[in-house]
Chain A
Amino acid sequence: MAFDAQLAMTDSIAKITLTGSLDASSAPRFKEVIEQAAVQSPSRLVLLMKDLEFLASAGLRVLIFAKQKMGAKVDIYVVGSQGPVLGTLEMSGFHHSVYIQDTYADA
């Protein structure tokens, strides 16, 4: 499935819905959306990843970029991630730094 990233700002919360395959060919699009969110100085970043079917290191690097761009005080929520994609996040230690949840109240 082709990659897509859709940003929605609600109050000061940036929600990005990710679908498809996130690897080096699609990571620039994800990074572009992160930058669009960052200029609005969100208080929280929520990544809706239920339909993200593939996640390579290029996507993980954009998550690191997001944290470094937005600042340590902006919490990142990963919502709906499952199976091997969730396994990749945990194996890479990202669960130490982001909140991983099955659902998000306003999702």
Chain B
Amino acid sequence: MVANNRPLSPHLQVYRWGLHMALSILHRVTGSALGLGTLVLAWWLMAIAAGPAYYGQFQDFILHPFGRLVLFGLSYALIFHLLNGIRHLYWDMGLGLEVKSVQRSGQGVVALSLVLTIAVWVGGYYAAGRLS
């Protein structure tokens, strides 16, 4: 970039952090994480297609504490991105854009994403107990 002395519009650092800013950047962070997470999805599908021996390798990874941590992170990222994405679609219709509504829907997304992620994991462990 050519250096110039034109006045610049104030950027991120001059604003006081709020929930709306945190959720906005978290939407991009979770989106990027899910982008990397597609590798786990593709590995899962390829391992199933390749046969039980390869699927066993995938299961070894996902059942390891580190694998479970990765999967928990991805499940939270997916649920957060899904809920906050619905919030974005709602805004696209020109609704809920008042400061108060944005604040309230943001709090709702944070609470609901945590509750649903825990519910999915409780449901998962319940299903695993039922299957074995």
A and B assemble together: no
